Amino acid sequence: QAQLVQSGAEVKKPGASVKVSCKASGYSFSSYGITWVRQAPGQGLEWMGWISGYNGNTNSAQKLQGRVTMTTDTTTTTVYMALRSLRSDDTAVYYCARWAVDRDALDIWGQGTMVTVSS
């Protein structure tokens, strides 16, 4: 069955960068996009951006533009999200989710990756 498996928890210092991976399996990778969503402790969901599994086109949230980079490796069906110049308010659980265009919705979610930014 389709699933997304993310990399493990990270602890970073302010100003550093983090790269989270999301391994897709059980479906045609090029037929779907991947969206990144984050959730700060005790807060709601925040849409970060998406990347096409077909051609690698991306679109990111305006507030994160310049700090976030999303890439794909089609040979390993893995998507990566890199966030640089980390601040304490970047502390959150980061989720990848499959974007089903025919549903206009995120139908499969990864297990989440906790990123803690602390000095």
- Total chain residues near another protein (CB under 8 A): 22
- List the x/- string, 68-107, binding to another protein by CB under 8 A: ---------------------------x-x--x--xxxxx
Give the integer Cα–Cα distance in Å for 50 and 90.
Answer: 18
Select from 47, 52, 54, 114 the one that contacts another protein (CB under 8 A): 47
Give the integer Cα–Cα distance in Å for 85 and 14.
Answer: 7
Count of alpha carbons within 13 angstroms of residue 96, beta-carbon side: 30
User: Judged by CB under 8 A, does residue 114 bind another protein?
Assistant: no
Query: Of 17 and 55, which CB lies nearer to another protein in the complex structure?
Result: 55
- Token readout for 84 is 């640089």
- List the x/- string, 7-46, binding to another protein by CB under 8 A: ----------------------------x-x------xxx
> To the nearest whole angstrom, how small is the minimum distance from the Cβ of residue 11 to another protein?
20
Paired with 67 in beta bridges are none
Would you tell me how many other CB atoms lie within 10 Å of the CB of residue 91? 17
Give the integer Cα–Cα distance in Å for 15 and 11.
Answer: 12
The β-bridge relationship of strands 45-52 and 33-39 is antiparallel
> To the nearest whole angstrom, how small is the minimum distance from the Cβ of residue 104 to another protein?
5
| Positions in the binding site for another protein (CB under 8 A) | 35, 37, 44-47, 50, 59, 61-62, 95, 97, 100, 103-107, 109-112
